[in-house]
Structure 1
Amino acid sequence: MTDPRRVLFVCARNDVRSPMAEALLRHTDPADFLAFSAGLEATEIDPRTFESLEHINVDASGLRSKSLEDFEGQEFDYVITLCDKSREEAARMPFTGEVIVWNFEDPTTSERHDPFRHTLQEIGDRIKMFITVKTRPVPQAPSVSDS
């Protein structure tokens, strides 16, 4: 068994999209991944983030807004950016394995109906794909026997 891979989700403020992603990955595959989130700046998590997660029975306890500085010097297998503002910053971080760029509309400024649940659904779908791709077994070369 290998150690869980460390994933850091980064967004501008760490108030909606990145904490959603952190909670969803923790909920969906805690055996293979350790999930964290941070913002270019720390703020307060939007209460609608908690409401959206609770609505789909995802544990949001312990979620708090953190800044990138809180993770300085730590290594991550994956840094996943969730908005355009965080993309350039994450690419410059020296403590990453692979940087993955995702972009989701900010539900706090969205005109969509029920934007928080819509964003949560989009992030959840992307995380399921990420898990599928990153946990797929590596094909083994056929063994050569001396028979």
Structure 2
Amino acid sequence: MQKRIGVIFVSRRNSLRSILAEACLAHLDPKRFSASSCGQPGQVAREFHPAAVAALKSASIPVPNRLPRSWDELARSNAPVADFVITLDAATELRQPRWPGQPDAALWEYPDVAGGADPDKVAHDAIQTLFSLRRRLELLVSLPMQGADRSAVRSDVRDLGYLR
């Protein structure tokens, strides 16, 4: 049995963008990939944003069965080693800890739609974010990860951040 490829998605509050990415990847290929998400300590939300929950339910994707968490939980020396850390906003990219196992990093920047004042616009933007993430993640799961040149895979994962 081959090792599952660990991916951590990072956004500031771990309430919308990173939750959408984690749930979508877990839905697309749970056998090959192990998806997790986290946020910046002191910024993490107490619960998932309602727009993220609604977007996932509308796409028939299960909502993760845990609360938002800080990257402190995933950066411990005894935490499972990730192969990739994908940051979903540039504001948290420079503040991240040293991840166990030195995973490859990529920035897939998305706007912070959770902070909007209009709930209808936030709900619409969350669905659009999920659609965009799903396109990128479908390409990610189609990459030949096992036995491939690591630097080529790293470049491909980073290049997915430029997909529109």
The equivalent residue for 1:124 is 134
The equivalent residue for 2:105 is 99
Contact 2:7-2:85 within 8 A present in 1 as well: yes
The equivalent residue for 1:27 is 27
Distance 2:146 2:66 in 1: 29
Distance 1:10 1:61, change over 3 A: closer
How do residues 51-66 of structure 1 correspond to structure 2 at under 5 angstroms? 51-66=54-69
The equivalent residue for 2:152 is none
Distance 1:12 1:63 in 2: 17
Contact 1:19-1:63 within 8 A present in 2 as well: no
The equivalent residue for 2:85 is 79
Q: RMSD between aligned alpha carbons?
A: 2.2
- TM-score, with length taken from structure 1: 0.84
Out of 88, 94, 97, the residue aligned to residue 94 of structure 2 is 88
The equivalent residue for 2:36 is 36
Structure 1 residue runs of 4+, over 3 Å off? 109-113, 134-139
Letter in 2 for 1:31: K
Structure 2 residue ranges without an equivalent (≥5):
150-164
Name the % identity. 24
Letter in 1 for 2:86: I
1:108 equivalent to 2:120? Answer no
Structure 1 residue ranges without an equivalent (≥5):
140-147
State the number of aligned residues: 138
- Greater CA drift, 106-115 or 46-55: 106-115
The equivalent residue for 2:12 is 12
Q: Deviation string for 1:3-47 (max 9, x for gaps)?
A: 101111011110100011000000001011100000013212101
Distance 1:94 1:70, change over 3 A: closer
Distance 2:82 2:146 in 1: 19
